[in-house]
Amino acid sequence: MEAASRMTLCGICKQKRVCCSAVVWCTECHNGLCAECQNNHDVVMTNHSTITVEGYLNLPPFIKSLPLVCKEHNKKLEKYCFDHNTPFCFLCNEKYHGCCAAAVVDLDTMIPNIKSSPAIENMGIKLKEILGILQKLRLDRSENLLKLEENRIKIKNKIELVRKNINEEIDNYMQDVDLALEKTKTEIDQLLGNIVKRENQMLELSEGITEIKSNATNLQIFLGTKQLEKTLDSADNFVHSVINSNSLDTISIQSDTELSLTSLIFDLNKYLTVSTNRQPTIKEFMPPNLKQVQAPILKDTKVTLNHQFNIKRESKNLAISGLCVMNNNDIVFADSNSDRLIIHDKNGSFKFEFYTEQENSFDITQLDDVTVAVTSGDDEIYIVDLSDKKVSKTLQTKDTCYGVQYSNGAMIFTVKEKGIRKISMSDFKSKYIYKNNISWGSYITTFGGNVCFTNRELHTVTLVDSAQNIIWSFSDKNVLQQPYGVTSDIHGNIYVAGYRSNNVVKISHDGKSGVEVINHGSNIDCHLRAISYVEQRKSLLVTSEEGTVFVYDIK
């Protein structure tokens, strides 16, 4: 019966209404092939690869169910957008990803060596680690249930000693004991249920890792690892939430009972009370080497200066406070000493400039091919059409706004002393997505739904999630002082320009370490301020406030 349920028919024979068992599975045609059809197939489709039917059937269900063609256009998936965390075909590019050029990569360049990449190996290790933690958590809660039962028995035995004389009154307190136990037991049972569910999920995924490496296609592995990342992040967050909350407190039932018959007769309510007591656990569940799963990252970042150029000046001194790289690789600079926007091409040649006729400018972000948004450093944001060289719309923020980043159809910007706000570009409705006291001149970047911002007064760089939870906060004055501009690569590494330390620091995705990758020393004519990572060119643009632009290659 099991063999019959796992039998795969030849797709070509099936179209001819002939029932024939497949012996191989074509990973390109997504069809089973019998021996005869395989011979014909291999002659015509020389660039297709096949695996055994058994190997295909052993793939985890989530791998086999991954869509390998665009659902909307039924076209081959050719690119991957890290902003939207989704693959797409060439028809989706202009429709949905016109403003995502810096976060879009060709799948053909990403997947060829993915089987030998450490990504899937790391996920297998992470699966085993999380599975081990879940098993420890399950055992801990089970032991606490046994201890609770022991507590209950001890307390009830004490009560039974006086039950003969005050049986009716004691029954009331016996119910209290049972209710207290039931309440606590329900809490632990619910947690145990969630732990066992996660444990089974990790066990299932762990068992499928080997089959993925052996039988999944490169594209399946790449897309599968992305789905695994989400599953593992969810499991990781669950584990941390259990450990960091009071869920693992050793719960016991206590009774402030003076088992004195005379006292109980006079005042039962005073001496027979039932309560639960939580004692924080002293057990260590997290192994020291447990880290968040990320795409493979080179530990040593090699930064090489490709070229540098000076921004076109006017009579006033420059104070470059923001920059953004357009889809055509033009670079737009915001000069906070004036209302001027200055545009150079990718090689540094000056193209044009114009005055927005607004009071000031601070930071800048691209909205589409010809439109940018500029924060004023006051209570306005300007929408600027570069093709018409004019301000097409002015948004009143009512609060002082600084760093700005466009992401998923919305502008996200820092607000002095209040936090971080988001304005939808479809209806211009605004809301706070993070509330806290943020200093003057804070910059911002986004990655994977999280927001990272700088605080020049506290010398900190902080990453928060969509639920306003602080994921990490980095601070090391020996490495970074007065952080200003901030940007991120597709792996979640953060690059920050230190204004006072006059350097660029790379912060790891977990926020635990920061490494200086660029240092301009004590050059009094150079204070690094604005920064942008360009994924397509694997380059890092760093601009000094005085108007010198440094273009670095990142390896």
117-152 confidence digits (pLDDT tens) = 666 777 788 788 888 889 989 998 999 999 999 988
Q: What is the pLDDT of residue 550?
A: 95
Instruction: Indicate if the pLDDT at residue 241 is higher than 70.
Output: yes
Does residue 256 register a pLDDT over 70?
no
C-beta atoms surrounding 26 within 10 Å: 21
Contact at 8 Å (CB) between 169 and 163?
Answer: no
pLDDT of residue 295: 35
Q: Pick the residue with more confidence: 289 or 35?
A: 35
404, amino acid identity: V
Segment among 277-281, 307-311, 368-372, 456-460 with least mean pLDDT: 277-281
Tell me the CA distances in angstroms from 333 to 81, 93, 264, 356, one per residue in order: 26, 27, 82, 13
Strands 548-554 and 303-310: antiparallel
512 has pLDDT over 70? yes
pLDDT band at 265 (very low <50, low <70, confident <90, very high): low
User: Tokens 């470059």 identify what position?
Assistant: 320
Is residue 505 within 8 A of residue 498, CB to CB? The reply is yes
Number of neighbouring beta carbons within 10 Å of residue 350 = 13
Distance of CA 255 to the CA centre of its chain: 46
Averaged pLDDT, 527-546: 92
**pLDDT-based confidence at residue 286 (cuts at 50, 70, 90):** low
pLDDT given for residue 162 in this prediction: 66
In the prediction, which pLDDT does 533 show? 94
Closest CA to 430 of 376, 486, 381: 381
* Greater model confidence, 169 or 418: 418
> What pLDDT is attached to residue 322?
95
Q: What percent of the chain has pLDDT over 70?
A: 89
pLDDT at 271 over 70: no
Taking all residues of the chain, what is their mean pLDDT, rounded to a whole number?
Answer: 84
* Interior angle at CA 536, CA 535 and CA 537, nearest 5: 90
pLDDT band at 316 (very low <50, low <70, confident <90, very high): low
pLDDT digits 0-9 by tens, 205-232: 888 887 888 888 888 888 888 888 888 8
Top pLDDT among 203 and 83 is at 203
**pLDDT value of position 3:** 39
Residue 555 confidence class, pLDDT cut points 50, 70, 90: confident
Residues 78 and 56: beta-carbon distance below 8 Å: no
Share of the chain above pLDDT 90, in %: 31
pLDDT tens for 386-430 read: 998 889 999 998 889 999 999 888 999 999 989 999 999 988 888
Number of CB atoms found within 10 A of residue 353's CB: 18
Mean predicted confidence (pLDDT) in 437-455: 90
Task: Give the pLDDT of residue 454.
Answer: 96
Report the C-alpha gap between 345 and 328 in whole angstroms.
Answer: 9
Sheet with 24-26, side-by-side order of all strands: 31-33, 24-26, 50-52
pLDDT recorded at residue 480: 93
More confident residue, 243 or 402: 402
Residue 509 is predicted with a pLDDT of 79
Least confident range from 163-172, 280-289, 503-512: namely 280-289
Residue 264 in this model has a pLDDT that exceeds 60: no
70-83 residue pLDDT tens: 989 888 888 888 77
In the structure encoding, which two tokens stand for residue 221, read together? 């592995």
Comparison of pLDDT for 454 and 399, the residue scoring more: 454
Residue 19's closest CA among 28, 27, 29, 7? 7
pLDDT, one tens digit per residue, over 174-186 is 788 888 888 888 8
Per-residue confidence (pLDDT) for residue 287, from 0 to 100: 63
User: Who contacts 408 (Cβ-Cβ below 8 Å, separation ≥6)?
Assistant: 83, 84
53/296 Cα distance (integer angstroms): 31
Under a CB-based contact definition with an 8 Å cutoff, are residues 353 and 362 in contact?
no
Amino acid 503: pLDDT: 94
Tell me, what's the pLDDT at 178? 86
Spatial neighbors of 459 by CB under 8 A, at least 6 apart, are 475, 477, 480, 481, 482, 483
Higher pLDDT, 288 or 305: 305
Structure tokens at 43: 């002659």
pLDDT band at 7 (very low <50, low <70, confident <90, very high): confident
Residue 276 has pLDDT above 90, yes or no: no
Q: Most distant CA pair in the chain: distance in Å?
A: 100
Sheet strands (E) in 161-280: 250-255, 274-279
Closest CA to 62 of 123, 130, 148, 106: 123
Q: Is the pLDDT of residue 359 over 50?
A: yes
User: Which pLDDT belongs to residue 296?
Assistant: 34
Lowest mean pLDDT of 98-112, 131-145, 451-465, name the range. 98-112
Per-residue pLDDT at 293 exceeds 70: no
Instruction: Quote the CA–CA distance of 202 and 293 in Å, as a whole number.
Output: 14
**Distance set, CA 516 to CA 288, 303, 513, 519, 545 (Å):** 25, 10, 10, 7, 19
Local structure of residue 425 (DSSP, 8 states):
T
What is the rounded distance in angstroms from the CA atom of residue 347 to the CA atom of residue 330? 9
Q: For the chain, what is the radius of gyration of the CA atoms? A: 31
Q: Measure CA 85 to chain center.
A: 10
Which residues are within 8 A (CB) of 474 and not within 5 positions of it... i.e. 6 or more apart? 460, 461, 462, 480, 494, 507, 511, 514
d(CA 476, CA 458): 10
Residue predicted with more confidence, 262 or 341: 341
Q: What is the mean pLDDT of residues 188-200?
A: 90
Could you give the C-alpha distances from 101 to 26, 173, 318, 407, in angstroms and in order? 33, 68, 29, 12
| Sign for the pseudo-dihedral over CA of 108, 553, 404, 511 | positive
